[in-house]
Amino acid sequence: MIGQAIADGILTGAIIALGAIGVTFTLAIMRFANFAHSELLTWGAYMALVVVAFAGPGTPTGPFSFGWQLLAAALVAAALTGLAAWAVDALVFRRLRRRGALPLTMVFAAFGAALVMRHLVVLIWGHESHYYTRELQIAVELLPGVRMLPDQLFIVGLALAAMLTLHVFLARSRTGMAMRAMAESPALAQVCGIEVEAVVRLTWIISGALAAFAGVFLGLTPQLHPEIGFNLLLSLFAAAILGGAGSLAGAVVGGFLVGLAENLSLLVVSPGYKGAMPFLLLLAILIVRPHGIFGDRS
Amino acid sequence: MLSYLVFFACIVLILGVLTLALNLQWGFTGVFNAGVVGFYAIGAYTHAILTAAPQPQYVGNFGLPWLVGVLAAMAATALAGWLIGLVTIRLRGDYLAIATFGVAVSIQLVTLNWERLTGGPQGLTRIGKPLARLFDTPFAFNLWFLGLMIVVMALVYWALERILRSPWGRVLRAIREDETAAIALGKSARRFRLEAFVLGSALMGLAGALYVSFIGFVSPFDFLPIVTFQVWAMLIVGGSGNNRGALLGALVVWAIWAGSGVLVSKLVPPSRAAQGAAIQVILIGLLLMLALLFRPRGLIGEAAVVSRHVND
């Protein structure tokens, strides 16, 4: 029982972590809580659905329920969602930023953007569930009593690879350094000659791309619906705040901790209350360590 | 048509109480409550549980008088606001928003899952209405309820205007403008923020009790997160920091919501009802963003207060 909950927790945790990376960078670089971020997950998932509708999910390769086409669809969706995130910024957030709007005004705008984005999906695809593929798979027994589908193992692997790539990019490249500098102190970064708008644009594109991956993974386990991202909103915030704003390692650790906590709680709490778990965790974090495990901003 | 207008006016006045409550919390004090619907739901369910006609399968449904239900709803929501505020009020703006948003999500889960008390997804019916026995037709009752709502609204509006002009109200605005300065003047920002939060919560509970005693039943699907965003749209479109603006916003936004609903139901086939409803929500989202971009002060913004000694 506990073993299975931990395995499920790692799976949800990987997806939450991918989404939380975008939240944590928006919190640190743009200085606002982006309530519309969860909708980027939904958009990513549905954009991949469009590609799959044209190209098909491909013949199942090896133990997986999909072929290379779905991977290609995820990459296309990542690129499109990155651009979409940047477009929303250009249409709404950048205008407010230029006017010197307060961070909380940005949050209201994010409310509005989230409503529009989520219901555009309803408008186009309706409330029904959609599937990338209807292939059945056989679970693998990893340890006695712990089973996971091959697709799920693939998701965890690919998520970890994406996080590692981002880590190397942030640690080694000049642009990555600029992003970290902005997350530390936007004013100081500007004084050092960092082009703020370029970093902001890059942040949106990276956040959107990772959100799209998270969305495709959500859609793969097992279906897509318009609330797919919205239902994860509190988990994303809990993970980002747990890790501390602007910290990649924090968001990843936070994501896995939230995923584990949600699934382990099911051992004692009725599934109807699962949605309240990230909130309770968040409350506990905000009371004990308001700046997260890795954050030290005062 | 007339009966629809009466119904419409009642809903606008109920939502107006909700918007005034949010205006007290955000417009005057700067406390970011993103869980409005949660407090609204606490008031609604408290009233429903206390006044609904007894039924054996529920632990609540006490069949108490309407007024008891309304007062208890206010008290219960104020208590909930106090408990939640104790933990969250010190958080910085957007973290407070996330926390209160989580409160609303959790409250909705309780209304869905605690079936013995709340009726679960079915909700509760036969909820106490004010003097319902005296009126034969629904129209007569709605007309009486409209009169009652006008009185309630006048009372709430008058009381809010009074306390906001009092020294207590000035401290709230001082905290909103510059918390550090207010603290330096010896005002406990935390205490005042908490007081405003609790008072606002009580008013949201009042709105919830009025809503269910108007409709006559309660269901968790009346308390979805969209309500919070609608109320925020009302406040921002109308003019945050101005009670008349808040009421105008409630009228304008609800008119757009209801009007677009009528249009959609005429133009969109019933098989596409979900898409039609989506259009309504998209309009609210667009309205919120357009107001922030092009009219950040709202339709009637806050009046500038200039010292009367400025020309001395």
Q: What is the pLDDT of residues A61-84, one digit of tens each?
A: 777 877 788 888 999 999 999 999
The verdict on A119 touching B (C-beta cutoff 8 Å) is yes
A293 pLDDT band, cuts 50/70/90, is low
Q: Tell me which chain B residue has its CA closest to the CA of residue A124.
A: B275
Q: Identify whether A295 is part of a domain.
A: no
Read off the tokens for B55: 């039924």
Rg for chain A (alpha carbons), in Å?
A: 19
The verdict on B91 touching A (C-beta cutoff 8 Å) is yes
For the cut 60, the answer to whether the pLDDT of residue A292 exceeds it is yes
The verdict on B256 touching A (C-beta cutoff 8 Å) is no
Tell me which residue of B193, B199, B197, B224 sits closest to B104, measured CA to CA. Answer: B224
- Chain A 11-50, CB below 8 Å of chain B: which residues? 27, 32-33, 35
The verdict on A199 touching B (C-beta cutoff 8 Å) is no
Min Cα–Cα distance to chain B from A64, Å: 34
Q: Identify whether A296 is part of a domain.
A: no
Min Cα–Cα distance to chain A from B46, Å: 20
Q: Identify whether A213 is part of a domain.
A: yes
Min Cα–Cα distance to chain A from B119, Å: 14
ipTM of the complex: 0.88
Q: Which residues of B touch A119 (CB under 8 A)?
A: 278-279, 281-282, 285
Q: What was the pLDDT predicted at A291?
A: 66
A298 pLDDT band, cuts 50/70/90, is very low
C-alpha B108/C-alpha B222 separation (Å) is: 10
Half-sphere exposure for B217 (CA within 13 Å, toward CB): 10
* Residue A229 and residue A219 in contact, taking contact as beta carbons nearer than 8 Å: no
Q: What was the pLDDT predicted at A290?
A: 67
Nearest CB to A286; choose among B34, B91, B281: B91
Read off the tokens for A283: 């409350």
The verdict on A95 touching B (C-beta cutoff 8 Å) is yes
Q: Identify whether A44 is part of a domain.
A: yes
Q: Give Cβ neighbours of residue B150 (< 8 Å, ≥ 6 apart).
A: B13
Q: Do A119 and B285 touch (CB under 8 A)?
A: yes
Q: What is the pLDDT along chain B (312 residues), one digit of tens a residue?
A: 888 899 999 999 999 999 999 999 999 998 999 999 999 999 999 999 998 888 888 887 887 888 999 999 999 999 999 999 988 888 877 888 989 999 999 999 999 999 888 888 888 888 878 887 788 888 888 899 999 999 999 999 999 999 999 999 889 888 888 888 888 888 888 899 999 999 999 999 999 999 999 998 899 999 999 999 999 999 999 988 899 999 999 999 999 999 999 898 888 888 888 888 899 999 999 999 999 999 888 888 777 766 677 666
- Chain B 185-244, CB below 8 Å of chain A: which residues? 226, 229, 232-233, 236
Min Cα–Cα distance to chain A from B283, Å: 8
Nearest CB to B289; choose among A92, A122, A272: A92
The verdict on B66 touching A (C-beta cutoff 8 Å) is no
Cα angle, residue A115 at apex, residues B91 and A11 outer, rounded to 5°: 70
Q: Do B282 and A116 touch (CB under 8 A)?
A: yes
Residue to test with chain B: of A92, A98, A115, A236, most B Cβ within 10 A: A115
For the cut 70, the answer to whether the pLDDT of residue A294 exceeds it is no
Q: Which residues of A touch B91 (CB under 8 A)?
A: 286, 290
Residue to test with chain A: of B83, B95, B226, most A Cβ within 10 A: B95
Q: Do B285 and A112 touch (CB under 8 A)?
A: yes
Q: How far separated are the first and last CA of chain B, in Å rounded?
A: 56
Number of A/B CB contacts below 8 angstroms equals: 127
CB under 8 A, 24+ apart: contacts of A273-280: A273/B109, A273/B113, A275/A231, A275/A234, A275/B105, A275/B106, A275/B109, A276/B102, A276/B105, A276/B106, A276/B109, A278/A234, A278/A235, A278/A237, A278/A238, A278/B102, A279/A234, A279/A238, A279/B99, A279/B102, A279/B103, A279/B105, A279/B106, A280/B106
In this structure, what CATH number is given to the domain that contains residue A85? 1.10.3470
Q: What predicted TM-score, i.e. pTM, was given to this entire model?
A: 0.90
A295 pLDDT band, cuts 50/70/90, is low
For the cut 90, the answer to whether the pLDDT of residue A13 exceeds it is yes
Q: Do B102 and A282 touch (CB under 8 A)?
A: yes
Q: Identify whether A78 is part of a domain.
A: yes
Nearest CB to A279; choose among B106, B236, B292: B106
Q: Tell me which chain A residue has its CA closest to the CA of residue B273.
A: A126
Q: Which domain holds residue A209?
A: 2-288
Q: Which residues of A touch B106 (CB under 8 A)?
A: 275-276, 279-280
Q: Tell me which chain B residue has its CA closest to the CA of residue A240.
A: B95
Q: Identify whether A30 is part of a domain.
A: yes
* Residue A211 and residue A41 in contact, taking contact as beta carbons nearer than 8 Å: yes
Nearest CB to A119; choose among B109, B113, B278: B278
* pLDDT tens for each residue of B234-268: 999 998 889 999 999 999 999 999 999 989 888 88
Q: Do A104 and B93 touch (CB under 8 A)?
A: yes
Q: Identify whether A294 is part of a domain.
A: no
Q: What was the pLDDT predicted at A44?
A: 94
Min Cα–Cα distance to chain B from A285, Å: 11
User: What's the burial of B233, exposed, middle or buried (CB within 10 Å: 0-12/13-18/19+)?
Assistant: buried
Residue to test with chain A: of B84, B94, B235, B294, most A Cβ within 10 A: B94
Q: Do A103 and B99 touch (CB under 8 A)?
A: no
Residue predicted with more confidence, B237 or A222: B237
Residues facing residue B286 across a β-bridge: none
Q: Which residues of A touch B277 (CB under 8 A)?
A: 122
Q: What was the pLDDT predicted at B48?
A: 92
Tell me which residue of A184, A250, A177, A213 sits closest to A79, measured CA to CA. Answer: A213
Q: Do A272 and B95 touch (CB under 8 A)?
A: no
Distances B305 to B26, B131, B146, B165 between C-alpha atoms, Å: 18, 44, 34, 11
A296 pLDDT band, cuts 50/70/90, is low
Omega of the bond leading into B130 within 30 degrees of 0 (cis): no
The verdict on B287 touching A (C-beta cutoff 8 Å) is yes
User: What's the burial of A268, exposed, middle or buried (CB within 10 Å: 0-12/13-18/19+)?
Assistant: exposed
Q: Do A282 and B275 touch (CB under 8 A)?
A: no
The verdict on A108 touching B (C-beta cutoff 8 Å) is yes
Per the structure, the count of domains in chain A is 1
Q: What was the pLDDT predicted at B188?
A: 86
* pLDDT average, residue stretch A90-94: 92
Q: Identify whether A101 is part of a domain.
A: yes
The verdict on A275 touching B (C-beta cutoff 8 Å) is yes
Min Cα–Cα distance to chain A from B214, Å: 28
What are the DSSP calls for A64-102, one per residue? SSS-HHHHHHHHHHHHHHHHHHHHHIIIIIHHHHHTT--
For the cut 90, the answer to whether the pLDDT of residue A16 exceeds it is yes
C-alpha B272/C-alpha A123 separation (Å) is: 9
